[in-house]
Structure 1
Amino acid sequence: MSKKNPRKITFVTFSQSIFLTTKYFLQNRLLSFAGSCAFSFLFSVIPLFIMIVMVLVRFLHASPDTVTAIISAIPELEMYFNSAAIIHSVQAIRTVSSFEIIAGIFILWIARRFFASIFDSMQNIFHTQTKRKAFFNQILSFLTELLIVLIASAVIFAYISLQTISSIEILKNIPQLSFIYEELLSGKLVNFLPNIMIFIVISVLFKSASGTKPSLLLCIFISILCTASFWVFRLLLHYFLDVSRYNLIYGVLGQAIILFMDIFFFFVFFLVFAQFIYVIQFFDELLLGELYMLPKIEQKGFAADFKRMFFIRPDFLIAKNKSNVFSYHPGDIIFESGSEDNYAYYIIKGTVKFVSEGGSEETQTLAHRGEFFGETSCLLDQKRAATAVAVISTRIIKIESERFRFLVHQNPEAAKKVLKQISPFF
């Protein structure tokens, strides 16, 4: 019988998910991809900014009075720009010209290298699960780029519009609108506006670039964690990093070095949490693979002992497969020789011995906690060659043949282990 009310999410489950995220982050060489994304971003940020400006011009043309209000609210602009000329230029734009179309396509093409790097990184993370074509990835990168440009333009335009509203004397005397000046337009909002933009962009990329259709709630939650983690890391980095010293020695180059560090570590955080989404989405399959590849109890060494200690307790699978978790007393038969069933078995605790027909005690084999048994007959769809008997109080999980075959199909290491076991049959 299974435990009462087993929980999927425990400290053990969380620790295993962090271990898997770290393992696959290093295995997928995501540090190199973070550097590639950072390099592409530096060459794409100016084209993206130009695109946002072009979109904002269209927004401002839709309500030309906003231009007048903005310039009147910020008189200092008159020192650098001719307000009349700006208003005339914006209002003079009636239709989308061929130049704007060509310029927009060219700018998108220049900026796409950044998004292509991101999609390549995500493809490297989710490659075993996504079936998206490369051509579709190109189209999706363009669409994602356009969406981010439009969202950024909308947020900036909304903030400009609030500033315009706040400059109207009549509205300043309405108490109900005081939150606009005290909260929305305060320095705190301005300071957090980049983080809000980062959160929106990350959410869009997590949802669209993975190709595995993660839930929107999961993407939003992980985006919040990613944005908050990077914000805290950046605060600590700039706190311990003597920026003034860099500026004194290197001048402008010091600021550039710090900017490069910020951009690189942002993409490190982005890819770490993207890998975390992959682990969460396919945690049961990844955990099953780790269980199948656990070192046997006879294997000694720090690495083998550590891996067995870390993964031998599968809380998540126990809670998710409560109906397939069974307990046996000493001497209970798990399956008999010649029987037909399509399960592989994992020993949660205890020991199982295998008795062949006509075999002696010397030929009996044992399977211990943290080991699989019965997978050969499961894969070959054959009758059981021996009787499995519980030696001591034993608890096992039954794994359906479809799930186990999927594991072998997706995990090359598991496939090699299975081939070694079934090769004597051929």
Structure 2
Amino acid sequence: MAKLQSLESEYTKEENHRKITLRTVMQSVYLTLNFFVRNDLVSYASTCAFGFLFSFIPVVMMILVILIRVLHANIYAVSSLIGSNQAMEAFVQAVNAFLKTNPSLGGYFNVESAALSLNSITKITNFEIVIGFAIIWMARRFFVSVMNGMHKVFKQEAKYRPVISQLMSLGGEALLVVLISVIVFAVVTFHAVVKLPLLDELVLRYPSVFKNIGRIVNIIPFLAMFLAVSVCYRIGSASRPRFMAVFASAASCTACFYVFQKLMHIFINVNKYNIIYGVLSGIIVMLMEVFFFFIIFLFFAQFLFVYQFFTTLILGELYLLPARDDVSILAMVRRTLFIRPDTLLNDGEYVVSLNRGEYLYKRGERCRAAYYLAQGTVVVMRPNGISYVECGSFLGEEAFFLDGVRHEDVKASSYAKLIAIPEELFLKLLERNPRVSKKALSEINGYFAKFSNLYGEYSG
């Protein structure tokens, strides 16, 4: 009894330290792909991509409006922000001194002309108010889409929160969208500015400086992506997975998106898009990148779910293992892949070993656990006959639903290894997995039919 209680506590620690084998990795990938398809996460990725683009566009419009307003600002208003007119004049003189050391730049830029062209800053217009409202509203819709995807992955319902909490969340979401959009806008602007002819001489004169700046600018979006994905995985899961698991999933998501971008730029000639679609080419490429990013994002969120609840998911697959006489390709793949649960067999606490002739349990004993036969053969002896059970089968779960007393003897007919599943854990498995519940009811029906030998009555 003490051993089963310790087993139960160990099983409930879903993210326990388990030995990773190739079979375990393949099982994890299969479960991730299976849940990804069953949860229809491609549709959620489309919704997230649509929400992000509609959040991004108002922010870019606001940035352009701000830039236009700054370019029409009065020199005295700008100088008051930095201290005084003398400070502005000193800045103008410094820029002119730099231009004198680079005569070729003087033909492209004149700081006095630029400063004198600034006009007064106007008041906030209705257009800017509408854009600001659009940023907040679209940011709300975007984050709702992301959280809906996370709730679908982790099978949780959204909970009601107080109004103050919702307002704080709304402000944080809008700020995050603005920061992401500013970073993207700044990176695109930097690459466009570097290609301007007026900077050719500077690039040739200071190649290492521009090269290092370019590297930093290219790294910043991926660093911001890693942090944002980590926050979404940690908060959106609600089950609070370990930080190392969150960071590993976020890093994998970021790395895969980086590889995807590189491959896309190798196989897609953007210049051809420029010829055919003109200015829309950049938008088309961005649409593809955003859509595939959210596919990758939700895939690794699903992988994080599989990792966190791997033990329970494996037990469900073991109970639903296809029968030997099922020769369909998918059934054969599932049986081959899951018949040996390495993650449970490698931990001796879960394993019950029997030599030939040893009893697993006897008739009349209290039921404390169900068993999965991972290796060998056992014989089940009932009042109305005996049967041999081979690896890949469950034993003893019927007693959970009856009076809790064993109605048969089970002993090993060869060396056998079994995995013990405590009663409470098995009942939780029934709660979480409707397919397991359906099969359990079917097994009980078959058990009564065998026990009472009334097949005709129970077959319907």
- TM-score, normalization: structure 2? 0.72
Report what 1:122 is aligned to.
150
Structure 1 residue 254: deviation in Å?
2.8
Aligned residue identity for 2:218: N
Find the aligned partners of 1:315 and 1:367 in 2 and give their Cα distance: 21
Report what 1:336 is aligned to.
362
Report what 2:223 is aligned to.
196
Q: 1:394 aligns with which of 389, 395, 416?
A: 416
Aligned residue identity for 2:271: S
Report what 2:243 is aligned to.
216
Pair 1:365 & 2:392 matched? no
Show CA shifts across 1:33-53 (max 9, x none): 111111111111134457889
Show CA shifts across 1:241-260 (max 9, x none): 12222222222233322221
Larger Rg: 2
Paired residue secondary structure (1:364): strand
Cα 1:54/1:384, change in 2 over 3 Å: farther
Find the aligned partners of 1:18 and 1:283 in 2 and give their Cα distance: 11
Find the aligned partners of 2:59 and 2:274 in 1 and give their Cα distance: 28
Q: 2:25 aligns with which of 6, 14, 19?
A: 14
Structure 1 residue 375: deviation in Å?
0.5
Report what 2:375 is aligned to.
349
Find the aligned partners of 2:327 and 2:46 in 1 and give their Cα distance: 38
Report what 1:28 is aligned to.
39
Aligned residue identity for 2:20: I
Any residues of structure 2 matched to 1:124-273 within 5 Å, and which?
Answer: 124-127=152-155, 130=156, 132-133=158-159, 135=161, 142=170, 144-146=172-174, 148-149=176-177, 186-273=213-300
Residues 60 and 181 in structure 2, CA contact (< 8 A), matched pair in contact too = no
Same amino acid, percent of matched pairs: 36
Unaligned regions of 5+ residues in structure 2, if any? 1-16, 70-77, 100-107, 188-207, 449-457
Aligned residue identity for 2:34: K
Unaligned regions of 5+ residues in structure 1, if any? 1-5, 94-98, 160-180
Show CA shifts across 1:124-163 (max 9, x none): 1111xx354155796686265156258659989xx9xxxx
Structure 1 residue 300: deviation in Å?
2.5
Q: CA RMSD in A?
A: 4.1
Cα 1:40/1:418, change in 2 over 3 Å: same
Aligned residue identity for 1:120: N
- TM-score, normalization: structure 1? 0.77
Q: Runs (4+) of structure 1 moved beyond 4 Å?
A: 48-57, 67-89, 99-106, 134-141, 149-156, 181-185
Paired residue secondary structure (2:346): helix
Matched length: 385
Pair 1:111 & 2:122 matched? no
Residues 59 and 135 in structure 2, CA contact (< 8 A), matched pair in contact too = yes
Pair 1:312 & 2:339 matched? yes
Find the aligned partners of 2:271 and 2:112 in 1 and give their Cα distance: 30
Find the aligned partners of 1:122 and 1:140 in 2 and give their Cα distance: 20
Report what 2:3 is aligned to.
none
Pair 1:45 & 2:73 matched? no
Find the aligned partners of 1:308 and 1:82 in 2 and give their Cα distance: 73
Residues 59 and 178 in structure 2, CA contact (< 8 A), matched pair in contact too = no
Find the aligned partners of 2:253 and 2:41 in 1 and give their Cα distance: 16
